[in-house]
Amino acid sequence: MVDWFRLELLRGTHIIPTEKGFTNDRIAIEYLKHYIKHSDCGPDQPWKLMLIDNHKSHETGEFIRLANENHILPYPLLAHLTHCMQPLDVGVFHPYKYWHDVAIKNALARLDIEYALSSFLRDLKWIREQTLTKLTIKSA
C-alpha cells in the first residue's frame, strides 16, 4: 500500500495503517480527533450532525464523549434502510461522480494516463470542494 502514497499528500493528511487492514476503536478516535481539528468543531462551536454507520467503534464511550464535548452529534444510519437515503444518491453522489469524472479527464489532459488510487487521493479535496457546496447540501 506504500505505492498508493508516493505522491505528495496535502498537509494535514493522516494515514493510519492497521495490522489487519480494518478500522478499529483506536482509528475511530484518531479519525474523530482529525475531523474535530479540521472541521471547526469544539465546545464553543455550533453543533454538527455526523452521519455514521453502525460500526462498533462509533459506539464506544470514548468516541461518543469526545464527539459530544466538541459539539458533534453522532447519528447512526439505520441498517438495511439505505434506500431511504435515495435523495442523497441524486443530490450529492451524482455531482460527486461528475466531479470525479472531471478530475480523471483533467489528469488525462495532463497526460497522467494511469489514474490510480494515489491520483484519487491527490484530487479528493478538490472533488469534495466542488461537490459539497451549500447549494448541493440544501438541495439534497
Domains of the chain by residue range: 10-79, 82-140
Give the β-pairing of 72-76 and 48-52: parallel
Calpha distance 67→35 (Å, rounded): 10
Report pLDDT for 117.
Answer: 80
Question: 74 pairs with which residues across the strands?
Answer: 50
Report pLDDT for 13.
Answer: 74
Instruction: Give pLDDT tens digits for 9-36.
Output: 677 777 787 888 788 999 999 999 999 9
Calpha distance 114→101 (Å, rounded): 14
Report pLDDT for 76.
Answer: 84
Cβ(125)–Cβ(10) below 8 Å: yes
Calpha distance 96→131 (Å, rounded): 5
H or E, element range at 64 = helix 61-69
pTM: 0.59
pLDDT beneath 70, residues of the chain: 1-9, 81-89, 140
Cβ(24)–Cβ(18) below 8 Å: yes
Report pLDDT for 135.
Answer: 84
Cα angle value 72/73/76 (rounded, 5°): 130
Report pLDDT for 105.
Answer: 94
Report pLDDT for 106.
Answer: 93
Calpha distance 89→99 (Å, rounded): 14
C-alpha cell at 65: 464523549
